[in-house]
Structure 1
């Protein structure tokens, strides 16, 4: 079989697969879980309601804070160095590998 036919078959199968994926695309839903079971749409509504409650409302959220926060600063002292004995133990362990 020539490479042209192989490439054509691969491209045709990819095009067919992508067309089927696009045409048969459905949003997943759970059904048949029984009476009183929560479905996907109820969960989406619940999450959207929580997001609406969490959004700030009113003019008091538009004001600037009274006291600005100070910018973060680097520590003035350098970090403590580990003891030299620890360095030697790590070096010996690495040599044993």
Structure 2
């Protein structure tokens, strides 16, 4: 696990998938809950700190392990600077 702080410029530079109302992690089928990074923009502020497949455990003080997808999107869109607690899955082939 690690923490990163990202400020919008103009966006955060990543997209998410998952949530308790979804089918789980497309990168690790056994991981059924959570919010996962689905895309990182090559020219965005998250390009050096996040990867596809990373799991967001917490954003600022909000637990992202048991949140609906739309709630997570709303929180990320309405916050200028986010501090994320992230779990990286090392043994995933993300070609």
TM-score interval (norm. to shorter): under 0.3
Higher relative contact order (CA 8 A, sep 6+): 2
Structure number with higher strand proportion: 2
Provide TM-score, normalisation by structure 2.
0.17
**Which of the pair has more CA radius of gyration?**
1
Structure number with higher helix proportion: 1
